[in-house]
Structure 1
Amino acid sequence: MGGWFRENILDAGKLPTLLALASFVLTFLITRTVTRLIRAGRGPFRNITPGGMHIHHVVPGVVLMVVGGFGAVGSGRYGVAASVCAVVFGIGAGLVLDEFALIVHIHDVYWSEEGRQSVEVVILATALASLVLSGFSPLGVDTLSPDEREDRVTVVATLVVNFLLVLITLAKGKLRMALIGVLVPFVAVFGAVRLARPGSLWARRFYRGRHRARARAALRSYRHDRRWDRPRRRLQDLIGGAPDRAD
């Protein structure tokens, strides 16, 4: 285990990435635990409200991300400074993405149905960071041979094609698949060839006069949501807490 860690993490310069991911996940879990205790009125924790104004934890999160990010850029992949900056950045990212829904809606939706977006984004960010840590390079360049790497035309073509597939997947209303497809080209190919989700940009543009395609897309979307919506909500509630019930 020690030899594997040294070869694949330390020697490969991935220790800052590992520390950033670990601090990101740990910060998110601790933050959610604290906010759930505050919500339940248990423990010594309280909201920070100087002068009656509620300071959301996204504020210190942004500061930590800026400090850690610039520090990491200037530190490289090795050394104590790089590791420290990675931890600072991970903590800041955990605080910011925990309130991702607030940034999107410009409103405190932390315990509302819209607040589930924060949990979903954190799960996606963790998955993407784990893929990078495990060896995936953006846009599938790691799949090229040494000879192909020397051929810049091949490299650029690979980047462009995968980027277009990601855009098509995104236009078809499949955000999760598009994000993962940036790192795993097969996912982008799969998302690009499948039917678009109803209401997506692709469906509005290309399914307007295709009634059968619209019907198939609606049926597939309904079956997918019916199958996966309840398990996804249970996972989100387990990680981030159930939202408040609408009156």
Structure 2
Amino acid sequence: MGHWLQRNIVEPGKLPLLLALASFVLTFLAPRTVTRLIRAGKGPFGNVETGGLHIHHVVPGVILTVVGGFGAVAGGLHGFGPALGAVVFGVGAGLVLDEFALILHLDDVYWTEAGRQSVEVVVLTAALVGLVLAGFSPFGVDDLSEDELQNRAGVALNVTGNFLFSLVALSKGKARIAVFGVIVPVVAVIGALRLARPGSPWSRRFYRRRPRARAKAVLRAYRHDLRWSAPRRAVQDWIGGKPDPDPPRPPERG
């Protein structure tokens, strides 16, 4: 284990990234656990308030992210500066992204259906950093030979092509595939070749006069969501807690 860590993490200079990822994941889990206990009325925990103002943990998260980011940059390439800065940055990022939905909606939606977006962003971020840590480089150009490294035109073409595939996947309403496709090229190609999701820019532009393609896209999206929405929600509930049910809507007056 020590030899593997030295060869694959320390020597390539990935130790700060590993520390940032570990502190990011652990920090996300810590406030989620505490807030779930507060929600259930268990433990000695409570909301942080001052002068009647509820201080969300995104506030110290922003401060730690700024301090850790600048600290890592100012620490140079040697010593404990980059490692310490990476840990502080990971802690801050975990606190911030745990309340990503609150920032997006500018409202306390932590335990609502919209709050699931925080869990999605955290999982996506951790997965992408994990891929980079595992050895993948953006655009899939990390395994080039010496001759390929000298062929800058080929590298640029590879990068540009994969970026375009990711853009096509994004325009087809496949945001997750587009993001992962930046790191894993085959994912971008698959996302670019498959049918667009209904309502996506690609669908509105190219399926407008193709009713068969539009109907096929709607049917495929329905089947995909029917198959994967329940497992995805179950995983999100297990990681971040189940949202509160929506309040009943008042009856409409005739």
Q: Classify the TM-score, shorter chain.
A: over 0.9
Cα shift readout 1:103-124 (whole Å, capped 9, x = no counterpart): 1111111100010111111111
1:196 corresponds to: 196
2:35 corresponds to: 35
The correspondence of residues 1-247 of structure 1 with structure 2, limited to 5 A, is 1-247=1-247
Cα shift readout 1:186-233 (whole Å, capped 9, x = no counterpart): 101110111011111111111111101111111110111111100110
Aligned letter for 2:177? M
2:13 alignment partner, SS class: coil
- Alpha-carbon distance between aligned partners in 2 of 1:34 and 1:43, rounded to the nearest angstrom: 9
- Alpha-carbon distance between aligned partners in 1 of 2:76 and 2:152, rounded to the nearest angstrom: 26
Matched length:
247
- Alpha-carbon distance between aligned partners in 2 of 1:124 and 1:137, rounded to the nearest angstrom: 16
Contact 1:64 1:92 (C-alpha < 8 Å) held by counterparts: yes
Moved segments of 4+, more than 3 Å: none
- Alpha-carbon distance between aligned partners in 1 of 2:6 and 2:90, rounded to the nearest angstrom: 22
Contact 1:24 1:94 (C-alpha < 8 Å) held by counterparts: yes
Contact 1:178 1:191 (C-alpha < 8 Å) held by counterparts: yes
Offset at 1:77?
Answer: 4.8
- Alpha-carbon distance between aligned partners in 2 of 1:35 and 1:113, rounded to the nearest angstrom: 16
- Alpha-carbon distance between aligned partners in 1 of 2:56 and 2:213, rounded to the nearest angstrom: 45
Contact 1:136 1:183 (C-alpha < 8 Å) held by counterparts: yes
1:35 alignment partner, SS class: helix
Offset at 1:10?
Answer: 1.2
Offset at 1:144?
Answer: 2.8
Structure with the higher helix share, 1 or 2: 1
Aligned letter for 1:127? A
- Alpha-carbon distance between aligned partners in 1 of 2:206 and 2:107, rounded to the nearest angstrom: 34
Offset at 1:243?
Answer: 0.1
- Of all paired residues, the percent bearing the same amino acid is 66
Cα shift readout 1:144-203 (whole Å, capped 9, x = no counterpart): 332122122112211111111111111111111111111101101110111011111111
RMSD: 1.1
Aligned letter for 2:31? T
Task: Mark the runs of 5 or more structure 2 residues left unpaired by the alignment.
Answer: 248-254
- Alpha-carbon distance between aligned partners in 2 of 1:159 and 1:169, rounded to the nearest angstrom: 15
Contact 1:16 1:77 (C-alpha < 8 Å) held by counterparts: no
Cα shift readout 1:45-102 (whole Å, capped 9, x = no counterpart): 1111211111111111111111111222233454311111110010011001101111
- Alpha-carbon distance between aligned partners in 2 of 1:175 and 1:58, rounded to the nearest angstrom: 25
Offset at 1:39?
Answer: 1.1
- Alpha-carbon distance between aligned partners in 2 of 1:144 and 1:214, rounded to the nearest angstrom: 41
Task: Mark the runs of 5 or more structure 1 residues left unpaired by the alignment.
Answer: none
Q: TM-score, normalised by structure 2?
A: 0.94
Q: TM-score, normalised by structure 1?
A: 0.97
Aligned letter for 1:186? V
Aligned letter for 1:17? L
- Alpha-carbon distance between aligned partners in 1 of 2:110 and 2:21, rounded to the nearest angstrom: 23
Q: Max radius of gyration: which structure?
A: 2
Contact 1:13 1:78 (C-alpha < 8 Å) held by counterparts: no
- Alpha-carbon distance between aligned partners in 2 of 1:7 and 1:224, rounded to the nearest angstrom: 41
- Alpha-carbon distance between aligned partners in 1 of 2:146 and 2:167, rounded to the nearest angstrom: 28
